[in-house]
């Protein structure tokens, strides 16, 4: 079944995808602006993260408090995110309020105040977030794992680095906004009880005069798998493991997803049952497939006591490689059942669907339907998943640990 989404690109480069959803009274949007952390200036990692807050401190005719009150009065459930490539702005409200919401975001993106006198408050807020992350070893570990498993600059910490925050100023942030917050390559996904023509008319009126600017393309560096330890005085050890996978745009993406699901798709998956339940080696273990446009990695975490850390690492790596020896049909069926449940929930959520159509356009240049995704999931077989695993084996591991003592990886990183 073809997509019901209406897709239109304004002359300034902003792409708008509108997908009507029957029998819902709400509407949601997901705005992806190409100003993520990969574009942070050298020595100023954290610029994008500060901007995600700073840009909301007044816009158009509204000061910071008035802007917040206006969005609250519209009943908007909103969120702001900073990612590797994008600043994300999303929200959901009743459908008839969406035009006014989009008008407010037109001012936020095109006419923010960026008041110098409020810059330090935004920077201090990020500093507190980073300190909190430093105090939470699991979060810190996954940041450090991403830095080492992706080639530069694609592992750049999205929330920045404490030691680089002092180099960021209100002036440098304003310059970053002028250079990167632009309609070229920006994506607006809308889903819900809306009429596409009406939404496109509002978007044209609100964003049609947004001035386009030339963008920047980060230069990708080399990547070599590493084993690295970060000393931390504790009775616990936190283990991060990464290895290569295929990205979302790859034809084998859903097969790769299933391979990871067999390992870590619930309490019946292999890592939980073997490492935690049967052997009692750790208190937490998981793995996810993480995709950028051209790079993807399986990212795994295990938290354990330091006296069991080496065995936890050994057994986890062995399970990751043992899956190539065979998969039980029931393991795949459980993965498929979980995916179908997630599709049903997405079908009923306007904000999930708005995010999905924007993500699809960014990664694929088209919109996938829920029926298409369901078909890909249902077509998975044990043989196709094993073929993928044999073609993309779990090896060349990047391993990062946080704890009192370093661990050994048998055979290094290969």
CATH of the domain at 337: 3.30.830.10
Which residue from 139, 131, 141, 134 is spatially nearest to 228, judged by alpha carbons?
A: 141
- What is the Cα–Cα distance from 313 to 89, expressed in whole angstroms? 38
Q: Does any domain span residue 11?
A: yes
Residues 184 and 231 in one domain: no
The yes-or-no verdict on residue 413 having pLDDT over 70 is no
Strand 77-82 versus strand 87-94 pairing type = antiparallel
pLDDT band at 359 (very low <50, low <70, confident <90, very high): very high
Give every CB contact of residue 128 below 8 A, 6+ residues apart in sequence.
Answer: none
Name the percent of the chain lying above pLDDT 90. Answer: 90
Calculate the average pLDDT of the chain: 95
In this prediction, residues 319-334 reach a mean pLDDT of 95
Residue 412 has pLDDT above 70, yes or no: no
Tell me: do 203 and 235 sit in the same domain: no
The answer to whether position 391 is within a domain reads: yes
Say if 1 falls within a structural domain.
no
Asked whether residue 216 is domain-assigned, the answer is no
* 131-166 confidence digits (pLDDT tens): 999 999 999 999 999 999 999 999 999 999 999 999
Name the token pair of 351.
């904000």
- Are residues 261 and 362 located together in one domain of the fold? yes
Tabulate helix, strand, coil % of the chain (nearest 5): 45, 20, 35
Q: What is the pLDDT of residues 294-321, one digit of tens each?
A: 999 999 999 999 999 999 999 999 999 9
Task: Name the percent of the chain lying above pLDDT 70.
Answer: 98
104 and 246 fall within a common domain: no
Give pLDDT tens digits for 240-257.
Answer: 999 999 999 999 999 999
Q: Are residues 191 and 248 in the same domain?
A: no
> Has residue 221 been placed in a domain?
no
* Domains of the chain: total: 2
pLDDT at 217: 81
**Is 48 inside any structural domain?**
yes
Q: Angle at which helices 329-347 and 382-391 pack, to 10 degrees?
A: 100
Q: Whole-angstrom Cα distance, residue 190 to residue 394?
A: 38
Which domain range does residue 153 map to? Answer: 6-207
Q: Mean pLDDT, to the nearest integer, of 279-305?
A: 96
Looking at the fold, whether 152 and 242 belong to one and the same domain comes out as no
Check whether 81 has a pLDDT greater than 50. yes
Residue 2, pLDDT > 70, answer no
Decide if 196 is inside a domain: yes
Q: Tell how strand 236-244 and strand 296-305 pair up.
A: antiparallel
Element (H, E) at 18: strand 15-20
Q: Is the pLDDT of residue 11 over 90?
A: yes
Could you tell me if 191 and 316 lie in one domain?
no
Query: How many Å is the maximal CA-CA distance in the chain?
Result: 64
Q: How confident is the model at residue 330 (pLDDT cuts 50, 70, 90)?
A: very high
Q: How many other CB atoms are found less than 10 A from the CB of residue 27?
A: 28
pLDDT at 414: 41
pLDDT in tens, 214-226: 877 888 888 889 9
Domain identity same for 121 and 175: yes
Task: Tell me which of 39-48, 138-147, 335-344 is least confident.
Answer: 335-344
Assigned domain for 164 exists: yes
Q: Residue 265 pLDDT > 90, yes or no?
A: no
């Amino acid at each position: 079944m073809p997509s019901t989404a209406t897709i239109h690109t304004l002359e300034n480069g902003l792409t708008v995808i509108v997908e009507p959803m029957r029998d819902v009274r709400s509407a949601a949007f997901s705005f992806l602006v190409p100003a993520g952390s990969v574009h942070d200036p050298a020595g100023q990692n954290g610029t994008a993260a500060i901007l995600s807050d700073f840009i909301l401190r007044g816009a158009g005719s509204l000061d910071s408090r008035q802007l917040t009150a206006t969005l609250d009065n519209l009943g908007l459930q909103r969120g702001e995110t900073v990612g590797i490539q994008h600043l994300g702005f999303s929200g959901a409200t009743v459908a008839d309020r969406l035009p006014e919401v989009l008008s407010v975001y037109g001012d936020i993106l095109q006419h923010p105040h960026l008041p110098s006198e409020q810059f330090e408050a935004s920077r201090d807020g990020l500093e507190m977030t980073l300190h909190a992350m430093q105090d939470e070893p699991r979060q810190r570990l996954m940041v450090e794992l991403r830095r080492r498993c992706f080639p530069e600059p694609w592992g750049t910490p999205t929330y920045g680095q404490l030691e680089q925050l002092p180099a960021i100023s209100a002036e440098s942030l304003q310059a970053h906004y002028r250079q990167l917050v632009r309609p070229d390559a920006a994506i607006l996904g809308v889903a819900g009880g809306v009429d596409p023509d009406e939404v496109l008319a509002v978007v044209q009126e609100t964003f049609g005069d947004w001035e386009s600017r030339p963008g920047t393309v980060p230069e990708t560096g080399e990547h070599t798998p590493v084993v690295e330890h970060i000393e931390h005085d504790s009775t616990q050890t936190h283990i991060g493991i990464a290895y290569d996978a295929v990205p979302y745009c790859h034809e084998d993406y859903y097969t790769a997803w299933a391979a990871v699901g067999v390992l870590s798709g619930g309490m019946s998956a292999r890592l939980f049952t073997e490492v935690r339940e049967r052997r009692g080696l750790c208190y937490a273990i998981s793995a996810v497939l993480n995709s950028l446009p051209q790079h993807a990695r399986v990212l795994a975490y295990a938290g354990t006591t330091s006296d069991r850390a080496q065995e936890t690492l050994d057994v986890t790596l062995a399970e990751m490689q043992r899956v190539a020896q065979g998969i039980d049909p029931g393991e795949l069926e459980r993965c498929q059942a979980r995916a179908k449940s997630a599709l049903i929930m997405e079908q009923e959520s306007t904000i999930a669907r708005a995010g999905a159509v924007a993500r699809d356009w960014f990664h694929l240049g088209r919109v996938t339907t829920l029926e298409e995704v369901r078909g890909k999931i249902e077509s998975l077989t044990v043989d196709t998943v094993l073929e993928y695993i044999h073609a993309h084996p779990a090896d060349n591991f990047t391993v990062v640990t946080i704890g009192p003592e370093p661990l050994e990886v048998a055979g290094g990183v290969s």
